[in-house]
């Protein structure tokens, strides 16, 4: 830590008053004992049972680390506390571990098991932080564990944990780069993730681990473009810079036609570019001028990227703005690049560091695209309070922007700068004037005159710099400037700066024929002062002498010989060498001297004028905004920005078949699609509006949706619903994926729906439950048949029970929208609107047993069906809700009983087992205010008055999970304490078995094809060869009922989701021995996918 010395200066700063200073305490006994004694009290504190003491100890240790003191000898004592329940202690232990684990690898291993336990914790925050610390401990032995943990976390339910997994990838890679291949697999998987939270982190991992695997991006390109706007700022930066590189490899250059034209008539082009509006026109003329080339058509994906990044120029984050700016600079057609100028100029207001980086980039851009920044010329004017670096960069930009029209203003501004107190800046200004003079011929004389005036400046530095610049300028057209050379010659008496003197001498020598009278005189003066001159000046004196000797030997012969003999005995060998060399060349010796004949050619050859150009000239081959660009040198880890391809690679690689891009995200945030606009503005009644909006926010507030009963007539609503989805009215036009008509209809339909249903749509998309394809059209007849079939079979069910599924199947055509479903039930069956607990419901499971018995004689062909049906498997075994220790003696487990919950058929019934292992009775056990995600509701269990020590009790509660596997979080309250607990249902518990015949099954399956069908291949292990085991395993995983089947190696199961009532059909085809195929048909695709995963896992284990 670089802060170490600073910290050690003020020891005890954070220790507070009255605390002993460890290691400096005289009581700890001299040099020898201090080492092992000094942390004894800390160790003691860490070994106690009291959290507060541990916390205090950890705080002191962290403060020690912060002060740069070595606390590594406390490692064993600290590591013990990694399992501490107090979360703050835990955090500080993590801080400590990350700092010292690499030094004490063996001891660090002690903590690993705690992290492994943490990875399985129901609390996502704990899972995430366990993974974070595990991956930050740089101990090579645990690489396999880390790999496993990352893989597991990559498929975690919580996006936050998946994000952490993405962060862990580069950490593991830097620890062991051999894991690359496996890590790429994880990256590939995470790239397919659709949450904004993950997107930025996984792209960062991609850039660190496998930036060359551009092929991984293809399938996710459009998704990333569309998500971009909602990703958090840091993620946006990484994604944009990656997409810039991607686009460079995949699309054709939008400027390929222009660049040819530019070479021919650069000036003219700039002229037209000045006007932004004309830009498009110039592009056209460019295309017209080159009829031979095939016209450039921008790839729609290229366009998509440009369009989706543009709003981000308005971001508050300078990093994002800069990223978009470089993307436009590298990728956009010339006519469109202009939009970034304004945003970049805005960034000049921020911190000076940001200003510095932005100005560097502007300097590079302004060389290529001068027109872009011209309107903002005045924003680059320099203030006396700017730091020198900033001043010089601004000067650079001003010089780049100067042209025929604005040069007078720029020069006037420069004149002010020359009077500045900052001499470095003044020197830079003089050079800038020189550059302006070379670039703009019209002002060359003016500049030269101005510079000559500067020669009489009192500051030597200014004069010297001017001489150097004048020398360069004169070299371009020496003939007309005899006067200036004369003036310069006079200055040799005054100017003392060696570089300037040398420059003057060189000028006089070079153009001695323009000043034939003065030149020998200057040489005479210089010969006089030769010994006192600086080396660089001496060399030029020799040069001057040689040149004069060649042109005007009559006057200068003696002088030259004098100078050369002086030089011969100079202390500097360079000068001695030069003198010897020159003498041999110009003074012909006896032995021929073939060279001396060419001496004139050697010394007085016409020399090319130097080109004054910007140091930013070729910097744009580095990706703008990168560190390499800033340094103008390749930094490690820099990814080369590739050149445009000659031929565009196949664009179809980006096509994604069943991807449902428009449904991915709800854009509520900044720059997002604002779908509500038309609705809100039209709505005049404030009250009504308020009521309508409320459910929208219940999303994040955690209000339960179904309780909001709207006053609209369900008939008319469902009518408009189905109409809009079939007619595809106007509405929003944001659907990006044009190839998917279904989605477009969906989107548009939603746009014109009433607020209530729109809210549902939002909530649905948030949970990413995709819509069933073709469901809207077929649902009517489908529901008819299904209702009739259920009537014929479930004979023992009550009237109401039969009515319900039929009615809501009919009323909600497109899919099982949960909220309207419940609402409509309550409106239809008015007497049932009273609290659901009163509702008398006969549990279908009991029905089913008797029903199965009935069916046995009729349809059963499979003998093994009966036992599996008759013994309802209670789902997953007991799971811990609250550990004994965390609950202070109260241990709580839960099981999914698979009994229908007697209050509400849409609820999953959960048996909760309490046991009191403390020695005091626990009183008043009840559920406290639940904080639930939208749609999820809880039917609490009746309060348990008292639980004596050692006793246990069971209660049943119902949870409506709304057909999602989101966890239900609630509080368990006792009289004294509150515990936050959460129940996350396995997907298999979200459904209830349905019984149907083989024919019905096939009929229903036929309706759920296409997107609603998920098929996966698997290898059945040997243990799964018997029917019984297979059936048991499937039913243990999912609460499904077996459907009879004619063929022996095929298993069919059917169920309905509890809340939505959507059918879930599962087929397992095991005909070829060993290899099997699992098919799930359900309109709830997410449920289907997860079910497939779970069942495969159950079967193959």
Partner 1 sequence: MSRTTSLPKRIKIHFMFFPAILSDSTTVLEFQFSCSIPAPLHSENDYFGVCSEPVIKDNVVVVYEVLEEMLDNGFPLATESNILKELIKPPTILRTVVNTITGSTNVGDQLPTGQLSVVPWRRTGVKYTNNEAYFDVIEEIDAIIDKSGSTITAEIQGVIDACVKLTGMPDLTLSFMNPRLLDDVSFHPCVRFKRWESERILSFIPPDGNFRLLSYHVSAQNLVAIPVYVKHNISFRDSSSLGRFEITVGPKQTMGKTIEGVTVTSQMPKGVLNMNLTPSQGTHTFDPVTKMLSWDVGKINPQKLPSLKGTMSLQAGASKPDENPTINLQFKIQQLAISGLKVNRLDMYGEKYKPFKGIKYMTKAGKFQVRT
Site string for partner 1, 523-552 (x = CB under 8 A): ------------------------------
- The reply on whether position 569 binds partner 1 by CB under 8 A is no
Give the residue among 546, 474, 480 at the shortest CA–CA distance from 503: 474
Question: Which tokens belong to 1?
Answer: 């830590």
Of these, 595, 650, 674, 741, which contacts partner 1 (CB under 8 A)? 674
Contact between 120 and partner 1 (CB under 8 A)? no
In sequence order, the 6+-apart residues with CB closer than 8 A to the CB of 728 are 744, 745, 748, 749
Told to check if 62 binds partner 1 by CB under 8 A, we report yes
Binding mask 275-314 for partner 1 (x = CB under 8 A): ------------------------------------x--x
Look at residues 818, 1026, 1005 and name the one whose alpha carbon lies nearest to residue 906: 818
Of the residues 627, 803, 828, 1036, which one makes contact with partner 1 according to CB under 8 A: 627
Q: Which of 74, 92, 130, 1090 binds partner 1 (CB under 8 A)?
A: 92
- Of 23, 37, 102, 234, the one binding partner 1 by CB under 8 A: 234
> How many Å apart are CA 199 and CA 226, to the nearest integer?
11
CB of 528 to partner 1, least distance (A): 28
- 84, 101, 239, 321: residue in contact with partner 1 (rule CB under 8 A): 321
| Partners of 1068 in beta bridges | 1051, 1078
Residue from 516, 669, 950, 1010 in contact with partner 1 (CB under 8 A): 669
Residues 21-50 that bind partner 1 (CB under 8 A): none
C-alpha of 257 from chain center: 34
Question: Which of the residues 421 through 480 are near partner 1 (CB under 8 A)?
Answer: 421, 457-459
Q: What is the CA radius of gyration of the chain?
A: 41
Which residue number, 270 or 638, has a Cβ lying nearer to partner 1?
638
Q: Which stretch binds partner 1 (CB under 8 A): 18-26, 378-386, 782-790, 991-999?
A: 378-386
Least Å distance, CB 193 to partner 1, is 13
Question: Min. distance of Cβ 286 from partner 1 in angstroms?
Answer: 29
Residues 133-172 close enough to bind partner 1 by CB under 8 A: 135-136, 158-160, 164, 167, 170-171
The residue from 110, 126, 289, 566 that contacts partner 1 (CB under 8 A) is: 126
Q: Is 124 in the site for partner 1 (CB under 8 A)?
A: yes
> Per rule CB under 8 A, is residue 385 in the interface with partner 1?
yes
Shortest separation between residue 772's beta carbon and partner 1, angstroms? 24
Nearer to partner 1, 237 or 564 (CB): 237
- Report the run of H or E that residue 527 belongs to, with start and end: helix 518-529
Regarding 267 and contact with partner 1 (CB under 8 A), the answer is no
Q: How far is the CB of 547 from partner 1 (least distance, A)?
A: 36
The site map against partner 1 for 190-229 (x = CB under 8 A) is -------x---x--x--x----------------------
| Residue 17 burial (10 A CB sphere; 0-12, 13-18, 19+) | exposed
Q: H or E element: which one contains 286?
A: helix 279-289
Neighbouring C-beta atoms of residue 760, cutoff 10 Å: 24
Residue 515 or residue 664: which is nearer to partner 1 going by CB?
A: 664
| Residue 971 found at the interface with partner 1 (CB under 8 A) | no
**Cα separations (Å) of 1072 from 362, 864, 1026, 1059, 1076?**
66, 20, 14, 37, 7
Q: Angle of helix 352-368 relative to helix 388-401, nearest 10 degrees?
A: 20
Query: Measured between alpha carbons, how far is 138 from 787 in angstroms, rounded to an integer?
Result: 61
Task: Name which of 195 and 796 has its Cβ closer to partner 1.
Answer: 195
Q: Which of 819, 823, 680 is nearest to 751 (CA)?
A: 680
Candidates 358, 365, 440, 927: give the one binding partner 1 (CB under 8 A). 358
3-state secondary structure 985-1028: CCHHHHEEECCCCHHHHHHHHHHCCHHHEEEEEEECCHHHCCHH
Q: Kindly state whether residue 689 participates in binding partner 1, applying the rule CB under 8 A.
A: yes
> Minimum distance from CB of 357 to partner 1 (Å)?
5
> Among 3, 280, 595, 948, which residue sits at the site for partner 1 (rule: CB under 8 A)?
3
Q: How far is the CB of 619 from partner 1 (least distance, A)?
A: 13
Q: Compute the least distance from the CB of residue 482 to partner 1, in Å.
A: 29
How many residues sit in the footprint of partner 1 (CB under 8 A)?
123
- Rounded to whole angstroms, the Cα distance separating 556 from 546 reads 9
Per the structure block, which two tokens stand in for 905? 């058929």
The b-or-e profile of 880-903 (16+ CB within 10 A means b, else e) is ebbeeeebeebbbbbbbbbbbbbb
Give ∠ CA 60-64-70 in degrees, rounded to 5: 130
Closest to partner 1 by CB, 329 or 696: 696
Per-residue contact string for residues 691-720; x = within reach of partner 1 by CB under 8 A: --xx-xx-xxxx------------------
Question: Judged by CB under 8 A, which of 106, 353, 799, 919 binds partner 1?
Answer: 353
Smallest distance from partner 1 to CB 644, Å: 22
Q: Which of residues 759-778 bind partner 1 (CB under 8 A)?
A: 766
Site string for partner 1, 395-414 (x = CB under 8 A): ------------------x-
Nearest to 396 by CA among 428, 352, 370, 355: 428
By CB under 8 A, residue 670 contacts partner 1:
yes
Nearest partner of 454 among 488, 483, 481, judged by Cα: 488
Residues 6+ apart with CB under 8 A from 1063: 786, 994, 1004, 1008, 1054, 1055, 1056, 1081, 1082, 1083
Phi-psi region of 935 (alpha: psi -120 to 50; beta: other; left: phi over 0): left
Asked whether position 238 contacts partner 1 by CB under 8 A, the answer is yes
Burial category of 517 from C-beta neighbours within 10 Å (exposed 0-12, middle 13-18, buried 19 and up): exposed
Q: What are phi and psi of 486, to 5 degrees?
A: -60, -45
Q: Is 66 in the site for partner 1 (CB under 8 A)?
A: yes
Q: Quickly count: other Cβ atoms within 10 Å of residue 631's Cβ.
A: 12
Residue 996 touching partner 1 (CB under 8 A)? no
CB closer to partner 1 out of 677 and 1075: 677
Residues 219 and 196: their CA atoms lie apart, in Å, by 16
Taking the complex as a whole, the smallest distance from the CB of residue 630 to partner 1 amounts, in Å, to 5
Strands 908-916 and 952-960: antiparallel
CB of 251 to partner 1, least distance (A): 22
Shortest distance, position 95 Cβ to partner 1, whole Å = 6
CB-based burial, 66-89: b 16+ in 10 Å, e otherwise: ebbbebeebbebbbbbbebebeeb
511 or 696, CB closer to partner 1?
A: 696
Report the alpha-carbon distance of residue 464 to residue 454 in Å, rounded.
10
Q: Which stretch binds partner 1 (CB under 8 A): 321-329, 515-523, 601-609, 778-786?
A: 321-329
Q: How far is the CB of 311 from partner 1 (least distance, A)?
A: 5
User: Contacting partner 1 (CB under 8 A), which of 591, 652, 681, 730?
Assistant: 681
Least distance from partner 1 to the Cβ atom of residue 348, Å: 10
Q: Does 323 bind partner 1 (CB under 8 A)?
A: yes
**Which positions from 169 through 188 interact with partner 1, judged by CB under 8 A?**
170-171
């Amino acid at each position: 830590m670089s802060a170490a010395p600073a910290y050690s200066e003020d020891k005890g700063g954070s220790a507070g008053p009255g605390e002993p200073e460890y290691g400096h305490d005289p009581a700890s006994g001299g040099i020898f004992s201090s080492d092992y004694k000094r942390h004894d009290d800390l160790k003691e504190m860490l070994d106690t049972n009291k959290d507060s003491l541990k916390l205090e100890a950890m705080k002191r240790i962290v403060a020690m680390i912060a002060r740069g003191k070595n606390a590594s000898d406390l490692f064993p004592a600290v590591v013990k506390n990694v399992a501490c329940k107090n979360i703050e202690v835990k955090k500080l232990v993590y801080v400590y571990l990350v700092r010292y684990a690499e030094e004490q690898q063996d001891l660090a291993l002690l903590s690993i098991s705690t992290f492994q336990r943490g990875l399985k914790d129901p609390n996502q925050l704990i899972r995430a932080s366990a993974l974070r610390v595990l991956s930050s401990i740089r101990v090579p032995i645990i690489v396999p564990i880390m790999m496993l943990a990352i893989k597991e976390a990559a498929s975690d339910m919580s996006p936050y944990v998946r994000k952490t997994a993405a962060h862990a990838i580069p950490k593991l890679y830097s620890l062991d780069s051999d894991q690359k291949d496996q890590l790429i697999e994880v990256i590939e998987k995470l790239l397919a993730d659709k949450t904004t939270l993950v997107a930025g982190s996984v792209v960062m991992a991609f850039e660190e681990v496998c930036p060359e695997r551009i092929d991984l991006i293809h399938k996710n390109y459009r998704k990333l473009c569309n998500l971009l706007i909602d990703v958090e700022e840091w993620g946006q930066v990484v994604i944009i810079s990656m997409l810039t590189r991607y686009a460079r490899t995949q699309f054709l250059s939008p400027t390929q036609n222009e660049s040819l034209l530019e070479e021919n008539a650069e000036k003219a082009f700039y002229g037209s570019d000045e006007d932004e509006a004309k830009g498009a026109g110039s592009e056209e003329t460019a295309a017209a001028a080159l009829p031979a080339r095939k016209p450039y058509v921008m790839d729609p994906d290229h366009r998509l990227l440009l369009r989706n990044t543009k709003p981000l120029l308005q971001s508050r984050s300078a990093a994002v703005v800069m990223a978009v700016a470089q993307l436009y600079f590298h990728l956009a057609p010339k006519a469109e690049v202009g939009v970034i100028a304004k945003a970049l100029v805005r960034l000049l207001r921020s911190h000076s560091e940001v200003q510095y980086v932005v100005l560097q980039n502007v300097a590079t851009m302004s060389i290529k695209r001068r027109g872009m920044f011209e309107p903002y010329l005045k924003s680059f004017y320099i203030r006396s309070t700017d730091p020198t670096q900033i001043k010089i960069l601004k000067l650079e930009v001003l010089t780049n922007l100067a042209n025929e029209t604005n040069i007078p203003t720029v020069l006037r501004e420069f004149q002010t700068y020359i009077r500045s107190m900052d001499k470095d800046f003044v020197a830079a200004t003089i050079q800038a004037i020189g550059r302006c003079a070379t670039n703009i011929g019209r002002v060359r004389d003016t500049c030269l005159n101005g510079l000559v005036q500067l020669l009489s400046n009192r500051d030597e530095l200014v004069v010297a710099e001017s001489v150097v610049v004048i020398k360069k300028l004169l070299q371009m057209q020496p003939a007309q400037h005899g006067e200036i050379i004369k003036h310069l010659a006079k200055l040799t008496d005054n100017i003392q700066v060696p570089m300037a003197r040398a420059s003057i001498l060189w000028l006089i020598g070079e153009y001695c024929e323009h000043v034939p009278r003065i030149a020998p005189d200057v040489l005479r003066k210089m010969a006089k002062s030769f010994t006192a001159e600086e080396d660089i000046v001496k060399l030029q004196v020799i040069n001057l002498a040689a040149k004069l000797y060649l042109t005007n030997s009559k006057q200068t012969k003696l002088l030259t010989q004098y100078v050369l003999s002086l030089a011969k005995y100079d202390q500097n060998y360079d000068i001695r060498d030069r003198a010897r060399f020159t003498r041999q060349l110009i003074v012909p010796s006896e032995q021929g001297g073939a060279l001396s004949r060419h001496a004139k050619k050697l010394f007085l050859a016409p020399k090319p004028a130097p080109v004054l150009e910007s140091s930013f000239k070729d910097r744009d081959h580095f990706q703008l905004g990168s560190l390499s660009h800033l340094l103008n040198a390749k930094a490690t880890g820099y990814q080369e920005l590739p050149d445009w391809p000659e031929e565009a690679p196949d664009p179809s690689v980006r096509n994604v078949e069943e991807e449902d891009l428009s449904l991915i995200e709800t854009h509520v945030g900044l720059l997002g699609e604002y779908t509500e606009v038309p609705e809100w503005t039209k709505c005049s009644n404030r009250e009504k509006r308020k009521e309508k909006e409320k459910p929208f926010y219940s999303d994040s507030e955690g209000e339960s949706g179904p309780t909001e009963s709207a006053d609209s007539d369900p008939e008319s609503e469902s009518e408009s619903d189905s109409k809009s989805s079939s007619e595809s009215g106007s509405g929003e036009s944001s659907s990006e994926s044009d190839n998917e008509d279904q989605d477009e209809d969906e989107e548009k339909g939603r746009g014109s729906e009433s607020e209530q249903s729109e809210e549902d749509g939002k909530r649905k998309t948030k949970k990413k439950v995709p819509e069933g394809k073709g469901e809207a059209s077929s649902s009517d007849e489908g529901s008819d048949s299904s209702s009739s079939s259920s009537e014929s079979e479930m004979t023992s069910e009550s009237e109401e029970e039969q009515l319900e599924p039929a009615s809501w199947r009919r009323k909600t055509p497109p899919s099982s929208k949960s909220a309207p479903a419940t609402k409509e039930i309550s409106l239809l069956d008015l007497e049932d609107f009273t609290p659901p607990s009163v509702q008398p419901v006969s549990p279908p499971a009991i029905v089913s047993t008797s029903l199965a018995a009935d069916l046995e004689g009729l349809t059963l062909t499979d003998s093994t069906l009966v036992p599996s049906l008759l013994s309802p498997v209670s789902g997953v075994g007991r799971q811990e809700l609250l550990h004994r220790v965390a609950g202070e003696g109260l241990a709580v487990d839960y099981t999914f009983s698979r009994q229908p919950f007697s209050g509400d058929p849409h609820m999953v019934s959960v048996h909760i087992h309490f046991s009191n292992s403390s020695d005091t009775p626990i009183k008043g056990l009840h559920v406290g205010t639940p904080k639930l995600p939208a749609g999820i509701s809880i039917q609490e269990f009746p309060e348990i008055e008292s639980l004596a020590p050692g006793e246990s009790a069971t209660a049943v509660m119902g949870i409506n999970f709304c057909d999602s596997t989101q966890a239900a979080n609630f509080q368990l309250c006792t009289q004294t304490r509150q515990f936050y607990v959460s129940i996350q249902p396995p997907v298999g518990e979200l459904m209830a078995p349905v019984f149907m015949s083989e024919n019905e099954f096939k009929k229903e399956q036929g309706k759920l094809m296409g997107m609603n069908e998920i098929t996966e291949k698997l290898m059945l292990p040997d243990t799964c060869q018997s029917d019984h085991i297979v059936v048991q395993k499937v039913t243990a995983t999912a609460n499904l009922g077996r459907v009879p089947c004619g063929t022996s190696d095929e298993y069919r199961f059917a169920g309905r989701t509890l809340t939505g009532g959507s059918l879930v059909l599962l087929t397992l085809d095991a005909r070829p021995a060993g290899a099997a195929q699992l098919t799930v048909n359900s309109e709830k695709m997410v449920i289907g996918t997860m079910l497939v995963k779970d069942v495969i896992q159950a079967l193959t284990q």
